[in-house]
Amino acid sequence: MGNKTEVTVFILLGPSRAPGLQSLLSIRLTLIYLVTLAGDLGMITLILLDSRLHTPVYFFLSNLSLVGFGYSSAVTPKAMAGLLIGDKSISYNACAAQMFFFVAFATVENYLLASMAYDRYAAVCRPLHYTTTITTSVCAHLAIGPYICGFLNVCFHVGDIFSLTFCKSNTVHHFFCDVPAVLALSCSEKHISEVVLVFMSSFSVSFALLVILISYLFIFVNILKMSAQGHQKALSTCASHFTSVSVFYGTVIFMYLQPSSSHSMDTDKVPSVFYAMVIPMLKPVVYSLRNREVKSAFKKVVEKTRKFVKGK
């Protein structure tokens, strides 16, 4: 250990090393991030401004938009800087901070989707008791719980990973400080850290998925008892959430719940771009595309803005 040099700066390779793709990728990432900002922050603002959207489902949706904005902002600006100005270096502390916020918000989304599944169960299976089941207090607990679990989980992971020794190689084969990419650079004995990482990630994902699957099992059983009109309304109620669940967990399972020996950092970049940048951009679209209340609220805001501009 005496001949090893401690790493103080990491180098992020970026989404692609092909020189010809740098400018094209930078334009795309910039557009994706701007759309994400407009979509997530616009959704939160819309829900806050329109009293008709002050209901549990939109309360959870505003938190989901906040989380998407959070982990996208933890990753995308630095990736854009690497492509636009060639600044691929990131300090040791900044790398730890980036990993902290990305993993924290991603874990919060994991549990938040489970909370939303319970909300959908109550809306479809117990519609007459919905207001007494999903009270303001219950909503607060279902929203605060994911944040507590997320930040406790990330404190353990980041603390464990950055307690290891990093020496000689400081090149992160990724466009951000993701857990597997940084862990691969450690020259300490990391077998226990890898096992703990897979175990805790598996537990978090499995627990949330179990809640979601049980909720949807009851929902589908209840749908079978409904009329054709009831079928359509129930499916419409759950369609957006089910789409988000499928995309989120499909990507998470592909990226994290596999042995480290089967990881290819270059292969992982593709789903990582989708997971960290594209999904936060698509979520507001998924939740508002077939939602009449959101469309109505948006039109109302546009009309008010036009009247304000004309008044000036």
Among residues 65, 90, 67, which one has the least CA distance to residue 283?
A: 65
Q: What domains sit in the chain, N to C, each tagged with a CATH number?
A: 9-305 (1.20.1070.10)
- Hey, which of 22-36, 48-62, 186-200, 208-222 has the most confident mean pLDDT? 208-222
Point out the least confidently predicted range of 28-37, 201-210, 287-296. Answer: 287-296
Backbone angles phi, psi at 6, to 5 degrees: -65, 140
Banded pLDDT at 118 (limits 50, 70, 90): very high
Give me the pLDDT at residue 2, please: 43
pTM: 0.84
Please enumerate in sequence order all residues whose Cβ is within 8 A of that of 66, keeping only pairs 6 or more positions apart, or say none: 40, 44
For 39-51, the pLDDT digits (tens) are 888 888 888 888 8
Banded pLDDT at 262 (limits 50, 70, 90): very low
Banded pLDDT at 19 (limits 50, 70, 90): low
80 has pLDDT over 70: yes
Q: What's the residue count for the chain?
A: 312
96 has pLDDT over 50: yes
